[in-house]
Amino acid sequence: MAYWRWGDAGARRVVVCVHGLTRQGRDFDRLAQALLAQSPEPLQIICPDVAGRGRSEWLSEPTLYQIPQYAGDMLAMLAQIQLQLGADKPLQTLDWVGTSMGGLIGMVLAGQPSLPLPCPIRRLVLNDVGPAITWSSVQRMQVYVGQYGQYRDLDEAAAALWELSQGFGPVLPEVWREMSLHMTRAAADGQLTLHYDPAIGVPVRALTAEAAASGEAMLWALYDQIQAQTLLIRGQDSDLLTPETAAQMTQRGPLAKLDTWPGCGHAPTLTGDDQIAVLTHFLLGD
């Protein structure tokens, strides 16, 4: 699994930023730069490409493209980061920013105190995701995940991606083009295609409403064990995280602080100056 590191590799304060289902770690470039610019202490920001996305290798068994595999990969990555620091320099703080799927991974890690993390997750940002995910949003993902083609150039790819990403809310054109650059790779014929394994859609399409309901019960149990200070971001027009689920998340478990963002659906990109300001205040504040 590849990951992108911003900041001081010797810093004992770590922020991990994990992307959504079909995205990759470069989605957090602007947030990482802002955190480094504003942090009063040495900081490193780690932005992994989850298996099958970006620079990470593709799995030979498509059914492994699921949250337990991803959580195990993150544990291995964090163990490696601690090893690089050395036994005499334990991590001081570990914070987690998770968009959609990245938030689910964060809940799995933060909700199991017995896991061998270098240190407990201190602050947790859940970007438009919770234990309960609407079945209609799952059905939408079953249609589009892994169904992509080839594009003549970056502009065509960016336009095609935007058609699938209206829920992200307002994004400056130049920022979207830059994000789309990292979402593409060269195909065999010289055209561009998307930078993830189409097989990540196999487990998504195999999901049933019954299995989703069972997973929801397990995620609520994990959520109720989270001790990290938690910020829940909800796109006001989100079709994945309902207002009812968001409200419930403020009343149980870590008693998340809810911030609802108008003009966004699923899921905000965390690239706008106003969005970044919310996260830097939460992550770097006392």
SS3 for 133?
coil
| Average pLDDT of the segment spanning 129-151 | 91
Confidence (pTM): 0.97
Write out pLDDT tens, residues 215-246.
Answer: 999 999 999 999 999 999 999 999 999 999 99
Structure tokens, 175: 């920022």
Average pLDDT value for the chain: 96
CA–CA gap between residue 173 and residue 155 (Å, rounded)? 11
Range 39-58 average pLDDT: 97
With CA atoms as reference, report the closest residue to 144 among 194, 107, 96: 194
Determine the pLDDT at residue 65: 98
pLDDT at 230: 98
Of the candidates 180, 165, 115, which has an alpha carbon nearest to the alpha carbon of residue 267?
Answer: 165
- Residues 14 and 89: their CA atoms lie apart, in Å, by 13
The answer on pLDDT for 58 being more than 80 is yes
Tell me what pLDDT residue 188 has. Answer: 80
